Amino acid sequence: MNDKQLVALQAAKYVQDGMLVGLGTGSTANYFIDELARRQREEGLKVTTVASSTISAQKAQSLQLPIVALEHISGIDLYVDGADEISPDKTLLKGRGSDLVKEKLLAKAAQQFIAVADESKLVDYIGQNFVIPIEVIPFAWQLTKRSLEALGGTGDLRPNAAKDGYWITSHGNYVLDMKFDPSLDAKSLNDLLSNTPGVVEHGIFYSLVDAVFIAANGDVDERWA
Ligand code: 5RP
């Protein structure tokens, strides 16, 4: 069993009968979905799920997990998702894909949010290994980019896979992939990005997790906030 699977299985132990569980997106989150389905099949676990992306919704459906749409919920019991970076104060960077809008809604709506990752995701500061994805309303992208540049940001619109156009998110928006001065702390950057007109959502998950579970060499370290 690899570390991503191990940490996902550990988080799945926190799922109890009757819970409404948020499903994350990515390879680690996929192991969590698989484990929920196994527990439903083999242990008779009774849960309802809500997905952060179309791909996770399809996976849950194909495994016969009961699923409800985000627009029909007002809160969830538990959300389990991966991350691209995790800093020492448990800020996450997420959204390498294009589903950070739903991911952040579920993170905020959850009674408990557990981030699951292997140790390769640990960083000293947010933005160390990845650019910060910032989802913007298409018609506002130039104005928003200029505002972000005024904050010291550098970067550009994310190209599509064929490199002949721009990446479109699940919600029909563009993504600006930006770098900022590493001396800017996560809270300040989070606040600045959230307050910039034209920004729909961004990949900094500040003060949202209840715990990060980190797997390394076959062991899981549960770090509760
Ligand atoms: C998607 C995410 C993922 O959780 C993040 O990219 C981690 O992915 P993986 O578990 O495949 O390493 O934030 O928006």
28 lines ligand 1 (CB under 6 A): yes
Higher pLDDT, 98 or 143: 143
Domains of the chain (ranges plus CATH)?
3-124+206-224 (3.40.50.1360), 132-203 (3.30.70.260)
Say which DSSP state 131 is in.
Answer: P
Ligand 1 centroid to residue 121 C-alpha, Å = 10
* Strands 20-23 and 76-81, bridge-based pairing: parallel
Ligand 1 atom closest to the Cα of residue 27 is 11
Residue count of the chain: 225
pLDDT greater than 80 at residue 28: yes
- Please, what is the average pLDDT of the chain? 97
Taking only the tens place, the pLDDT of each residue in 123-165 is: 999 999 999 999 999 999 999 999 999 999 999 999 999 999 9
Q: Per 3-state DSSP, what percentage of the chain is helix, strand, and coil (rounded to 5)?
A: 35, 30, 40
Nearest protein Cα to ligand 1, atom 10: 28
State pLDDT tens for residues 55-93: 999 999 999 999 999 999 999 999 999 999 999 999 999
